[in-house]
Amino acid sequence: MLLLLILPLACEEPLIPVPDCNSNPCAENACEPDSCRFQDTTSIDTNPDSTFLALDTAWTSALLQGFGPRKAVQGKNNIYLTCINVSSGSHMLVCIQKKNGNILWTFSDPNVDYFADIHFHEPTQTVIAQRWKRIVALDAYSGEVLSNYSIGNYSSSATYGSLLGGYYYLPVRSHDSQKGFILRSHVSDLTNWEEVYEVHTNDVDGSRPSMNSMNNWVDPITNDEILVFQHRMSFPRRIDILAYNLTADSILWWHKDVDPNGNSNIQQINIFDDKVIFFSARLVHCVDLPSGNILWQSNLNESEKRNFILASAEQVGGNPLVIANESSSPEPPFGTLYLSFVDLSSGQVVMEITGERPVHVIAYNHLLFMSGKNRCYDLSQNKFIWNTNIEEIYHGLGYTLVDFDKKIYYGSFGIDGNVSIGAWEIPDEWF
C-alpha cells in the first residue's frame, strides 16, 4: 500500500486552515498528545531484539481476537485500519497512535458487513470509510460520527472510491444498468452528491458500464481539472481508458478496447508528472495525459504471460518506474513474482529481479519496501537488504505502511490466531 498523495483541485472550495496545534490531546496535531486517554493494549519493546524480523521492534498492539487488518491509511500521528473477522463476519475501524501503538478509538456499523475502503483527509482531519453506497465520515481525533449516509437512486457502486483533493468520488450504476455515473461530494458534506460524469450503454457498445481506478490531474497551463479513470463493460468484456475535463465538462480523450482480455486492476490509476500508468490484465499502458497519446504498451516480457491484476507501481528518481507484477502458469508454483525496473519514457525493462509476493511496493528515498520474504530493496546498492523468514512466524502479513519517522507498520496474523499491528524501526545504517 502506498502513501496517498493528495492533489489540489482547481475548483475545490476553500478550507478553513488547521491550527498549528490542537488542544484536543488525541488530535493529529495535538499540542499535548501525551495526555491523550486511550485503551492501552500495547507492548512497548524496551529491550528490542534486533533478530526478530531483523529489525528493532518499537511496539506491538493486539487487536481483538480474530480481527485482521484489511486496509490502512495514515496521518501524521495515527494509523486508521479497516479490520474484519472472517469467522464471525463482523468488522471494525480502528485508530492507533503511531508513537506507541495505543488504540484511541474503534467504530463499527451494523448496516455493513465490512468496510472495503478507507481514506484520511488531512486538511479536515476526517476519516472516510466506504462499503458500496454507504459512506461514513468520522472525526479523526475522537472517532465521532460526522455523517453516515447511504446513497440512493442507484443500483450499485464500485468497490473503491477515490479521495481527490477536497472531494470523494464514487462510481455508480442506474437500476436498469443502462447508465453509469461518477458522483462526488465534498469531504465536509458527504450527504449531497452531484453527478459529474455519465455514460450510456449506447456510448460504449456494451452492457452494464462501470467506472473504476480514478485519479486526477490539474493542467499547469489551463488549470483545468482532468479526471482519469477506466470503463469496464460486462458484455462484451472490454476496458477503456478515459480522461474527462471536469472544468470544461467534456471528454478530453478516450481509448477504447485497450486489452482484449477484458479484465483490469481496479486500484487507483497512477499519474507520474503528466503521464498515466494503467494496468489492464496483460498490459501496462503509458499515456501522455495532456494529449492522450499512447506512449507505449508493454507486457514487460514477450516470452511470459504476465498478470497485472494486482500490480502496483512507484516512480524512483526522475525517470525509472518500479512495477510489482507476476507471471502466470498452470503448473506449480503457478508463476513467478517480479520487480521490473522500467524506463518511463520508452517502456523498456532495464532490470528485473525476482521477489516473493511483491504485490505492494512503497518507495522511501532509495529504499523499496514490499510484502513477502524479500521485504526491502536498496536502490543505491542494487540488492535486497532485508530478508526474513516471516512466513515461519506468521500465517501472513496485512497492509504495509512506511512513514517519514523511519518506521514500518505491519498488520500480522499469528499462527495462534491472534492478530496485531506492529512498528519496526528502520535502521540508520540503511541510509
The answer for residues whose C-beta is within 8 angstroms of residue 10's C-beta and 6 or more apart is 218, 223, 224, 225, 247
Q: Is the pLDDT of residue 3 over 50?
A: no
User: Angle at the Cα of 186 (from 24 to 133), degrees rounded to 5?
Assistant: 100
**What is the structure's pLDDT at 57?**
84
The residues facing 60 across adjacent strands are 43, 422
pLDDT of the residue at 8 = 30
- pLDDT for 104-128, tens place per residue? 999 999 999 999 999 999 999 999 9
CA 119 to CA 71: how far, in whole Å?
Answer: 10
How many whole angstroms separate alpha carbon 69 and alpha carbon 411? 6
Is 201 strand, coil or helix? helix
- State the virtual CA torsion across 136, 120, 97, 401 in degrees, nearest 10: 120
- Report, as an integer, the average pLDDT of 283-311: 94
Which among 225, 223, 228, 259 has a CA at the least distance from the CA of 243?
Answer: 228
Q: Which position has the grid cell 465520515?
A: 137
CB atoms inside a 10 Å sphere around CB 87: 9
Backbone dihedral region for residue 369 (phi beyond 0: left; psi -120 to 50: alpha; all else: beta)? beta
The pLDDT assigned to 101 comes to: 92
Q: Quick one: average pLDDT of 48-61?
A: 67
pLDDT of residue 430: 85
Higher pLDDT, 161 or 29: 161
**Residue 30: its pLDDT value, please?**
54
Residue the block writes with cell 488531512: 122
- Rounded Cα gap, residues 367 and 33, in angstroms: 30
Rounded Cα distance, 322 and 333, in Å: 24
Q: What is the pLDDT of residues 398-431, one digit of tens each?
A: 567 888 788 888 776 665 667 788 888 888 888 7
Cell of 362: 512503497
- Cβ contacts of 104 within 8 Å, gap of 6 or more: 26, 36, 38, 39, 78, 95, 96, 97, 143
For residues 311 and 294, give the distance between their C-alpha atoms in angstroms, rounded to a whole number.
20
Q: What is the pLDDT of residue 174?
A: 94
pLDDT-based confidence at 21, cuts 50/70/90? low
144 pLDDT above the threshold of 60: yes
pLDDT above 70 as % of the chain: 80
Report pTM.
0.86
Q: 254 CB contacts (<8 Å, ≥6 apart)?
A: 240, 241, 242, 243, 292
